[in-house]
Structure 1
Amino acid sequence: MKKYFLLLVCFTHVVVVSFAAKAPKQVIVAPGTLSAASATLVWDKPDQAVRYHIILNGKEVGAVSKSNYMLTGLTPSTAYNCVVKTEGADGKLSGNSKPVKFTTTPQGKVLNITEFGARGDGSTINTKAIQKSIDACPEYGTVLIPEGNFVSGALFLKSRMTLQIEKGGTLKGSPNTEDYEPFINNRFEGWEMKTYASLINAGTMDSNGGYTTQQISIKGEGTISGGGGALGKAMIDKHGMRSRGRLIMLMNCQNVELQGLQIKDAPCWTIHYIYSKGISCHDLDIVSTAHNGDGLDPDSSDDSYIFNCSFSTGDDCIAIKSGKNPEGYTIGRPTRNVQITNCNFTKGHGISIGSEMSGGVSDVLVQDCTAGALLNGMQIKGTKERGGYVKNVTVTDCQLLKITIFSALNYNNDGAAAPLPPTFENFIFKNIDLKAATIKEPVININGFKDPAHKLKNVRFDNIIMPNGSKVIVNDAQNVRFANVKMINGSKPDYSLNNSTQTTY
């Protein structure tokens, strides 16, 4: 990383001032991650950062290059004070961040599901035994799934509990559709409706209500595995495409952590949360191959922290949503403050916002991520029927293969239109490595809406490197700026502009 200097010319001499690394801002305990023995910190990435040093109660406990750190080995019901320092390129440390103070939770009882009759033989349906252990779990207690293959139907978690899956342990979704009945209130592809329950469920969906379920952790070194595409097809055959349950479904939940697990083989979307706040998904390995096999879908929810995760999916790796067309527009519950950092996207359709975004999406950060050959790359998508908005999106310090903004899609566009087209505005793409992109199609393809009042507005591309022969398309846009956007040979890419104004490159 370069070191920058400011030359102050005084009357008789020159003073050289080094721009030292700054302490991180907004160091917080990620929502839902506080337990009896651990807490996970996240913070905003300052300029000039090389490493971070974590100081707990006055003693350094770790140093990392990522903007997050998991504190372990803590004592239950104990107060802690933590600060983070930034190490700059010169090896010097910043001052302390603003302290973050927290108190660990009490240590609750651990309930092993085998004590309630569960059998990890890969064939016994253990729904009743596991649910009995959940119902018996005291506050701050843990339901433990040990080594073995434990098959189950729909399970329903409650507040202030942990579901922990040990290394070598698998919670396996039943292949039988009847094990996910009765139907529950849900939302799928933007519409509120009744669907099959998911393998893991928490909360009760209510678009007008508050948070019904709080402080849940789903974690461990084991596996959550669903019935996959075969279960999804069986659900479709019985009750239609939109009847399918997810693998993990959170509804009107607050302060939930998903950590450490391999999560795979969903019948459609893998992790879906709606009308929720404070969801932390970290250190997960998410794999799906099913039709509509999204990896993670934040839906009309606030304060999502997604970090240190890997994705290989049959559809969008992440799809940020907020309802569809007049229904989503009228409910009007947006998704806000989504931070996606230090993630690896190896396969799928996109790191996506939309297409169901009618309640609005704002304040999204994608940072320090790497994406493989995703079908649509880093993608913002909607249709003119959606209504709502997507605004204040920043994508920075990433290695990508494509950037797209789509305003017309050939799927999931049934139903009446919202009263106005969407608004797409205020996007920043900065420090993006696109060198490995294919040039068979545009590497950057951004489009607004045809309505003159709904052009794509206020988009900046700063410090972008692309392969030789790259093309950039800008349609129906206003105030789009390209600064230091170059191909490997130093030349500018080929620009194609249509119905766009105030565009500079």
Structure 2
Amino acid sequence: MRATLLLRFVASAGLVLAAATAHADDGWALRDEILARIVPPSFPDRDFRVTDFGAHGNGRHDNFPAFRDAIAACHAAGGGRVVVPRGWYLLNGPIHLASHVNLHIEAGATVTFAPEPEHYLPLVLTRWEGTMLYGHSPRVYARGATDIAITGEGTIDGNGRATLAYMKDKPRGGNGTPRRMGAEGVPMEERRFETERWLRPSMIQFMECQNILVDGVTLRDSTFWVLHPVLSRNITVRGLHIESWNSNNDGIDPDSCTDVLIEHCEFRTGDDAIAIKSGRDQDGWRVGRPSENIVIRHNLMGSRHAGVCIGSEMSGGVRNVFIEDCRMESVSSALYFKANLDRGGVVEHVRARRIHVDKVRSGLVWFETDYHGWRGGDFPPTFRDYVLEDLHCVEATGYGIQIEGDRTSPIRDVVVRRATIESAREPWLLRHAENIRFEEVSIGGELAPTLPTPST
């Protein structure tokens, strides 16, 4: 029902039904090849109800053992559904999914988690802001699993605000520590963040998994990024409602992932709605896995920062990203591509069409190559081969379009076609950019030149 309403809402903005003349060299045919490969997993017709394993949905009982045992029994039987019926289920510990298990949360069911970080030990392998390390377990976690899912119309509540309040005065790992470890090649076994120093974990993380489905559930109140697949492939995400307003609460972060579909989701988040990543700096180069073959369509985004972002942790590269038929409300930027001179990496072959935005603060389209640098590196990122078309923005309170490359590595080969920005404080800013074309671009009622003159 939610997905149907969202599709109607997007269609009412004239996005789904908009007719646009395709150009033979636009590269959209690759999207169809990607979609043909993305197949959600299927599961045996067997149910394992957590209440049969001792769970109580009264909001007080610790249901960690019951969920653990139900998942183990489902996995041992060859797979099926672990069903969470109506009720409020507290867990003093994480949910670790296993292969062939579908965690099905029924309507009226809420799964919430204790705030104390000691419940999320022992440490697990994770990636934190682009660096591989051992940290506290995410609320829901899987590693090396095949055919896994989270489905249903219920809710997963990360209880993030309570965790952040609890840990306010506790020692933290610090943003620079993982970054330094990755840059200096500290051995993995020494990258451990335990009780004496902690890093906020993602709420849901799939590490080195394949054949993943997340469908229909509500996700709210995460400590950090909400849904974070890492080094995984064949991922279907659809019909989610994500509402999480804490700091760094990106909605979905595909991170060095291949063949990903994100559709019919609604985002209300404290950071970017969708942020595509592939590792940070030297550690990203060491792992060497791009994010590639990603389709994003029919989503509604209302976030404090960008609608769709690529970066800033993109050192492993990003390619073949297709964004279409999305509606964005008040966001910093609709399409935001960011990196810095520490990153290196190549982001290429990005396509977007039929995007409607109510209001942006930093540009309908924004390329930024000096985003929060750390060590003053000399590894300029490469952005090339973008076609962005049939875009509509009501108001830009800053620049309408910002494209800022590095003088040693300009932004290259960007086409913005059939774009309307009804009002903007400034039309555009272009710096260190080559082969930028505006085709039928109107900003503030005036038609932009086909080849705008770059700023200096």
Instruction: Give the TM-score taking structure 2 as reference length.
Output: 0.82
Shift of 1:376: 2.9
Residues 241 and 293 of structure 1: is their aligned pair in 2 closer, same or farther, counting only changes over 3 Å? farther
Summarize deviations over 1:163-200 as a string: whole Å, max 9, x none.
Answer: 00000001112122111111212111111112110111
Q: Which amino acid aligns with 2:366?
A: T
1:95 match: none
For these two proteins, the number of residue pairs brought into alignment is: 397
2:192 match: none
Shift of 1:131: 0.4
Of structures 1 and 2, the one scoring higher in RCO (CA 8 A, sep 6+) is 2
State whether structure 2 residue 271 is matched by structure 1 residue 338. no
Secondary structure of 1:442 counterpart: strand
- Contact preservation (8 Å) 1:275, 1:299: yes
Q: Which amino acid aligns with 2:370?
A: A
1:113 match: 50
Residues 120 and 238 of structure 1: is their aligned pair in 2 closer, same or farther, counting only changes over 3 Å? farther
- Contact preservation (8 Å) 1:170, 1:223: yes
State whether structure 2 residue 367 is matched by structure 1 residue 405. yes
- Equivalences for 1:1-40 in 2 at 5 Å? 25-26=32-33, 31=38, 33-35=40-42
Shift of 1:498: 2.4
Distance in 1, Cα, partners of 2:320 & 2:20? 29
Residues 29 and 260 of structure 1: is their aligned pair in 2 closer, same or farther, counting only changes over 3 Å? farther
Residues 447 and 129 of structure 1: is their aligned pair in 2 closer, same or farther, counting only changes over 3 Å? same
- Equivalences for 1:286-325 in 2 at 5 Å? 286-325=242-281
Distance in 1, Cα, partners of 2:328 & 2:20? 30
State whether structure 2 residue 304 is matched by structure 1 residue 362. no
- Contact preservation (8 Å) 2:41, 2:148: no
Distance in 2, Cα, partners of 1:124 & 1:416? 51
State whether structure 2 residue 173 is matched by structure 1 residue 240. yes
- Equivalences for 1:14-413 in 2 at 5 Å? 25-26=32-33, 31=38, 33-35=40-42, 106-107=44-45, 109-137=46-74, 138-152=77-91, 153-203=93-143, 212-235=144-167, 237-241=170-174, 243-350=199-306, 351-400=308-357, 401=360, 402-410=364-372, 413=373
- Contact preservation (8 Å) 2:440, 2:447: no
State whether structure 2 residue 427 is matched by structure 1 residue 475. no
Shift of 1:234: 3.7
Q: Which amino acid aligns with 2:383?
A: F
1:59 match: none
Summarize deviations over 1:80-121 as a string: whole Å, max 9, x none.
Answer: xxxxxxxxxxxxxxxxxxxxxxxxx542x2111011111111
2:190 match: none
Summarize deviations over 1:2-45 as a string: whole Å, max 9, x none.
Answer: 9899xxxxxxxxxxxxxxxx9x955956745243xxxxxxxxxx
Q: Which amino acid aligns with 1:267?
A: T
Residues 3 and 433 of structure 1: is their aligned pair in 2 closer, same or farther, counting only changes over 3 Å? closer
Summarize deviations over 1:296-322 as a string: whole Å, max 9, x none.
Answer: 111011111000001111111111111
1:61 match: none
Shift of 1:409: 1.7
What is the RMSD of the two structures over their aligned residues, measured on CA atoms? Answer: 2.4
Q: Which amino acid aligns with 2:334?
A: G
- Contact preservation (8 Å) 1:473, 1:496: no
- Contact preservation (8 Å) 1:384, 1:421: yes
Distance in 2, Cα, partners of 1:247 & 1:444? 33
Summarize deviations over 1:194-217 as a string: whole Å, max 9, x none.
Answer: 2110111011xxxxxxxx211111
Shift of 1:377: 2.7
Q: Which amino acid aligns with 1:442?
A: Y
Q: Which has the larger radius of gyration?
A: 1
Q: Which amino acid aligns with 1:437?
A: E
The structure with the largest helix share of the pair is 2
Residues 2 and 190 of structure 1: is their aligned pair in 2 closer, same or farther, counting only changes over 3 Å? closer
Name segments (4+ residues, structure 1) moved above 6 Å: 1-5
Which 5+ residue runs of structure 1 have no aligned equivalent? 6-21, 36-104, 204-211, 500-505
2:188 match: none
